[in-house]
Chains A and B, each alone.
Chain A
């Protein structure tokens, strides 16, 4: 089941998305919101898998909402203006739908979501509050979260870099992020999740872990700055 939330200030657009979602048994609408602030409060508490997000809304725009998310579900942007596409893709969204949204285009976007979700299930990882298991050379290797330095997305694979070396697993970083429960992991770029306890320093739009320089995206910069103690 894909737990889904729709955020749009236009009730007709909300209804259309609700109706389209009804046609796919994988999708379950958890809630709908007509403004960004209410949605953000909900998303601080509830974990969801898919977010349909309008960009231009009064009070808080979709881009502002994404800036304040503490985790990233799969996000499909819905908007009446194509000019937001570039900004939206900075946030590594799954798709960008222009209104009015047709069912065929909607289904194409959902195919991407389901594909990403499926990859998550294929990732040979079992996670708990303190550790994860990585399938390597036919074995499941236990990795305490505290030993993980960072995760790096490379094509269809994820490099897991730990104190003990590197493992490569199949999967999408976004899907992995949804499964990681360790609060010290933070997505800092569409290709990187880092262990905050392993950061050596942060400078402008990058950080250092070990000898590795990891970029921090514009979208994720506010999140990381809110997550560290600055004296």
Chain B
């Protein structure tokens, strides 16, 4: 659990920024505020990396699931599970965590049963991440944020 914010660390550097950024309430606002504080350039980079990497990983993951490639599912879900937390989507992180554990058990559970729910949750959440990224880009270009 993040208990210290970057804003505390960077308060001297960012005190000149009077504008306050507000995250979309569909994301885990408490986590995002605690983690990124006023260092929104860091936040913007994290959202940018998420969109440039995790989306492709999710497509690959779905293929692995459809082919019952349990070891590949386990490894990839392990790799990307925390990415969702970093962009304020803890429920998807939990789903990936569960998927990793299911895959570790190698077929004791039917992965296809979960894929629909996972895909739906992901596609719904992705639009929030994309919107947030655009908002962050605009905000950081207009304000001198970050370290």
Binding site for B on A (CB under 8 A): 9-13, 15-16, 19, 22-23, 56, 58, 80-81, 99-100, 102-104, 107
Query: What residues of A have a CB within 8 angstroms of the CB of B29 in the complex?
Result: none
A58 touches B75 (CB 8 A): yes
Query: What residues of A have a CB within 8 angstroms of the CB of B5 in the complex?
Result: 103
Per DSSP, chain B at the interface is helix
Query: What residues of A have a CB within 8 angstroms of the CB of B109 in the complex?
Result: none
A12 touches B83 (CB 8 A): yes
Interface size, B (range): 20 to 34
Cβ 8 A contact of A100, one of B50, B53, B79, B86: B86
B82 touches A103 (CB 8 A): no
Binding site for A on B (CB under 8 A): 1-6, 9-10, 35, 39, 42, 45-46, 49-50, 53, 75, 78-83, 85-86, 147
How far does the alpha carbon of A180 sit from the alpha carbon of B9 in the complex, in Å? 36
B82 touches A19 (CB 8 A): no
A80 touches B78 (CB 8 A): yes
How far does the alpha carbon of A104 sit from the alpha carbon of B9 in the complex, in Å? 11
How far does the alpha carbon of A19 sit from the alpha carbon of B38 in the complex, in Å? 13
With A11-B53, A104-B3 known as contacts, the answer to whether A19 contacts B78 (CB < 8 A) is no
B82 touches A99 (CB 8 A): yes
10 closest cross-chain pairs (CB), A and B: A102-B2, A104-B4, A104-B3, A99-B82, A100-B82, A23-B9, A19-B42, A100-B85, A103-B4, A12-B49
A19 touches B6 (CB 8 A): yes
A102 touches B35 (CB 8 A): yes
A12 touches B4 (CB 8 A): no
Query: What residues of A have a CB within 8 angstroms of the CB of B4 in the complex?
Result: 102-104, 107
How far does the alpha carbon of A40 sit from the alpha carbon of B86 in the complex, in Å? 28
